Amino acid sequence: MSHIVELLAVGTELLLGNTVNSDAQMLSRELSALGLNVYYHSVVGDNPERLHRSVELARSRADVLITTGGLGPTCDDLTKKVVAQAYGLELEYHPECAAAIRDFFARSGRAMTENNLQQAWLPQGCTILENRWGTAPGCAFQSGAHYVVMLPGPPRECIPMFREEAAPWLARLREGVICSRTLRVFGRGESQVESLLRGRMNALTNPTLAPYAKEGEMELRVTAKADSQAAAQALIAPVEQEVRALLGELIYGTGEDTLERVVLEGMKARGLTLGTAESCTGGLIAKRLTDLPGASAVFRGGVVSYTNQVKAQVLGVPRQLLEEQGAVCADVARAMAQGARRVLGCDAAVSATGVAGPDSDERGNPVGLVYVALAAPEGCWVRKLSLAGASDRRDRVRIMAANHALDMVRRWLAGLEIEKI
């Protein structure tokens, strides 16, 4: 029988929106990797009755309950009291925990208030989960066919405690592993890709194939459950091949790849340098490239030419061209990329000029009209984009323009055809 996990977070601050439940995300990832199925996340405030009902509910629909929060000295150990009571257990005092708490304060050179010792009371017969990252110990116990783990709320305590203390205890529940493979797709809308794959997505059960829309791109995840990593990979491989056959060059990477990373790694592998000339993206392309450690091996620099004067003076875009055609046209995009390549002394340069919005420009060019260009040793490519989308969202237009500019470099490096206008 396969286990069903419920994550129950305790804390009014979550219900007020003061904090986001990142514990649930991190624990869900870790649990999937252990081959355990998380069916529910719940959040309840620091309220004994509602917490009690939530624990009873979790007990009725899951056989593994993992709580986060409510273990600290300021909340009267609400979670331990209520959970222990729900499972008919008393709390007992653990001198070794008290010693560890005193020790923690001694090491951090802070005075310990007595209420901290409440944290040394734990359900009878539980396995203590040591907290080396804070003061509140966690605990784990089995009650019949049910398994309960209690962890502190602060992510910097919760996550390492899960990995080092709770995961080994939960290993007894493992039935195989879950592996997934992520393919990153750029160049088509989610619904277009989804309609290409819908048949397979509905037909597949193990592995499963699922799309996730990201800002301006999408992610396809193949997830398999099996007894071993190797067996799971063997289930994933043919489906990945199938998807690659269908989407081909729309797949730009896997796993944690981003367009900027694929571009930087491709350029680095060839010993090439890159530069940028940005108008409507205002530095976003350079910012994304330099988000990555080691960008300096490839990225030489960029010019944010937000005015025509800067386009002309710094990048050498002909003033006459700017006066006659304005800043938003194919020739200016080309001149910006070529100018950046020359001024920055790099092998290739990308540019973006367009109307990010919210209003159309003084020449009546619509929001979302963007030209991106790539200047490379063998020539220059320019693409015309219409990125307005639903809402004339300035940030979305800028992100999409940057994605398309980076994708041009990606395609150039891969020797793929680049659509021209």
Residues 21-50 that bind a second copy (CB under 8 A): 21-22, 24-32, 38-45, 47, 50
If the CB atoms of residues 123 and 357 are measured against a second copy, the closer one turns out to be 357
Alpha-helical (H) ranges within 378-417 are 394-413
If the CB atoms of residues 304 and 413 are measured against a second copy, the closer one turns out to be 304
If the CB atoms of residues 142 and 219 are measured against a second copy, the closer one turns out to be 219
Q: Which of residues 387-416 bind a second copy (CB under 8 A)?
A: 387-391, 393-396, 398
State the number of binding residues for a second copy (CB under 8 A).
119
List Cβ neighbours of 287 (8 Å cut-off, separation of 6 or more): none
* Encoded tokens for 42: 């719940």
If the CB atoms of residues 132 and 163 are measured against a second copy, the closer one turns out to be 132
If the CB atoms of residues 57 and 142 are measured against a second copy, the closer one turns out to be 57
Q: Does position 199 bind a second copy by CB under 8 A?
A: no
For 84, counting Cβ atoms within 10 Å of its Cβ (0-12 exposed, 13-18 middle, 19+ buried), the class is buried
Interface residue with a second copy, options 1, 16, 203, 245 (CB under 8 A): 16
- Which region among 226-234, 235-243, 244-252, 308-316 touches a second copy (by CB under 8 A)? 308-316
Q: How many residues does the chain have?
A: 421
Q: Which of residues 329-388 bind a second copy (CB under 8 A)?
A: 343-345, 356-359, 368, 386-388
Letters for 80-119 (x = contact with a second copy by CB under 8 A, - = none) are: ------------------------x--xxxxxxxxxx---
Annotate 19-30 with b (16+ C-beta within 10 A) or e (fewer): bebebbebbbeb
If the CB atoms of residues 180 and 233 are measured against a second copy, the closer one turns out to be 180
The secondary structure of residue 165, as a DSSP letter, is: I
Interface residue with a second copy, options 2, 48, 56, 61 (CB under 8 A): 61
Question: Hey, what's the torsion of the CAs at 210, 215, 217, 218, to 10 degrees?
Answer: -10
Q: Does position 293 bind a second copy by CB under 8 A?
A: yes
If the CB atoms of residues 312 and 374 are measured against a second copy, the closer one turns out to be 312
Q: Whole-number minimum distance, CB 42 to a second copy, in Å?
A: 6
Angle between helices 259-269 and 394-413 (to 10 degrees): 30
Q: Which of residues 141-180 bind a second copy (CB under 8 A)?
A: 154, 156, 160, 180
Q: Does position 301 bind a second copy by CB under 8 A?
A: yes
Q: Which of 331, 384, 375 is nearest to 355 (CA)?
A: 384
Cα–Cα distance for residue pair 55/150, rounded to 1 Å: 12
Q: Does position 276 bind a second copy by CB under 8 A?
A: yes
**Over the Cα atoms of the chain, what is R_g?**
28
Q: Whole-number minimum distance, CB 148 to a second copy, in Å?
A: 19
3-state SS string for 104-125: HHHHCCCCCCHHHHHHHEEECC
- Which region among 121-129, 240-248, 310-318, 372-380 touches a second copy (by CB under 8 A)? 310-318
Q: Does position 206 bind a second copy by CB under 8 A?
A: no
Q: What is the DSSP string of 223-279?
A: EEEESSHHHHHHHHHHHHHHHHHHHGGGEEEETT--HHHHHHHHHHHTT--EEEEES
Angle between helices 190-203 and 229-247 (to 10 degrees): 130
If the CB atoms of residues 89 and 136 are measured against a second copy, the closer one turns out to be 136
Q: Which of residues 214-273 bind a second copy (CB under 8 A)?
A: 215, 221, 223
If the CB atoms of residues 150 and 367 are measured against a second copy, the closer one turns out to be 367
If the CB atoms of residues 57 and 237 are measured against a second copy, the closer one turns out to be 57
Cα–Cα distance for residue pair 262/211, rounded to 1 Å: 21
Q: Whole-number minimum distance, CB 55 to a second copy, in Å?
A: 13
* Encoded tokens for 44: 């309840």
- Which region among 67-75, 86-94, 374-382, 410-418 touches a second copy (by CB under 8 A)? 67-75
Cα–Cα distance for residue pair 203/360, rounded to 1 Å: 46
Beta-strand pair 146-151/177-185? unpaired
